[in-house]
Structure 1
């Protein structure tokens, strides 16, 4: 969605009827003094381009005029380019210990875009039923990490690293690696990666454990990044 303040249009002496996005079929609707363009789904991109660099990927579009397509024009032109940027790398720490509820991290990135990363435990490799009940050392934990609200045909979530600590501190000196450079840790034979970098959801599993000399709580931490498909 893009919102154009009506004053910007009036200052240019332009009619909203001749304004459109990169795709001329995508026109705006005047709502409460603002011109609103709705787009963003896989079936309605409205000419949005998607680019990336080492640190961000960028959705880019522009508002322009469709007057003057014929031989002559006496109307003023307008071309306002706008974009939304998203950082591609994040270090994420789940604020709660492993338990049978969904944990959500919301990233509000000032002038940048915002998205959510959620972690959910499941009962088995089908990833259909969320885990319920107490966790025991005999349990194989099935974890799904998902980023929203991106289109999975354009953006994929990659778990680069995942590690556990006995306390809610990602830099704790006591830690255990589960995923290293997108692959199962060679030091833990119980880790299995089911899906990673294929869509907006990554899935893996490991057998539950505790840290010797600590409580029975473990906390998961991730280094994740987003990539264009």
Structure 2
């Protein structure tokens, strides 16, 4: 954690007594100065200043100043919380091991090796496999070797959707000696000296600390009105600590996620309704109590727009445009098209899929419905390529057509002609405009494995269709509120 240099900082122990903020290795506290003038505080989980409650660890930092009478006064207190420490070098769970297919296994240690020695390294053991008896589990496995090497193995399934292994690299770049030593379809393994590949070094108390980062690049798709990505964001911060005397100190790894975001709704009277089906057969739909609907990047979302309270079989619902914006304003400049002139936006690498309807669908009035499948994404700043924070809203413009001999109300989307359609669209003002009465929420994807180990910090961020809060090294989530704009012909 970074603490600005201002006034005087102190720590409060579990009894509320104040202590100066200074190195105290006997109590598991190390203080160092950052390049920007801040102070970096490293605290072990068993520190004298740390207390545990409900599976989390807490530490209180105070800000002390002097009043007009030159008396010391506690101006402010800040509570910091970390999740419970879960040693990553413990034997992995059976699901972590069984999830790895035999053809994807990579050796974690050379043979022969006992089950105990294999599991101490945080790896999986299968005595039936005579070739790869000790192999990496479906998670992040990291070691600091006694001969001064980083060793980090990353599973593609550590994020959801799976991280693209070709995009994973050291934050310092891909220079010689800093590329994967082993890679297959499921894992990428890095091994490099502590003194190489942009590793930072500092001495804190009686410990030498080496730190590096693994990150994953994101593929960004840019349109005329906005940019999106469907790739997970991965950032692993690796810290190796050694006693200055030379005694090896175990590596620790920690992965943080954000809790799901609350639902957001936009109530209002409706003549049209937009709702989300729970399966591709549209056999059931999410209700108010089901929100937020949790989905990962690239996951399909089954959308339905329908006419309400009408029984005329000659009415035809026509969708014109559907698009997403990072605010409730449908006219916002930053947009991502979903449907353009009733057809999937051709500039998307995960094109929206229209669902044809007929009497065989079992609907009483099939022409009163429009269905399509949308694949979740998140907005990205076109200039900086950074993921944008905030809510994301889906808008659709529609009209109701009356079918007759002269008007079929039918439209087609030729497979290749769609690419010629413009992504630009203009909202028409009209006397009748309605919004969806319930929210459609696309929330963060989850890390499949969350691991913790003392003194190593790994933050892997995975993305879903949106985001509303940011925490250090954590996942961003997003809420998509669906709105329908309706005008009459």
* TM-score class normalised by the smaller sequence: 0.3 to 0.5
Larger Rg: 2
Greater share of strand residues, 1 or 2? 1
Output the TM-score relative to the length of structure 1.
0.47
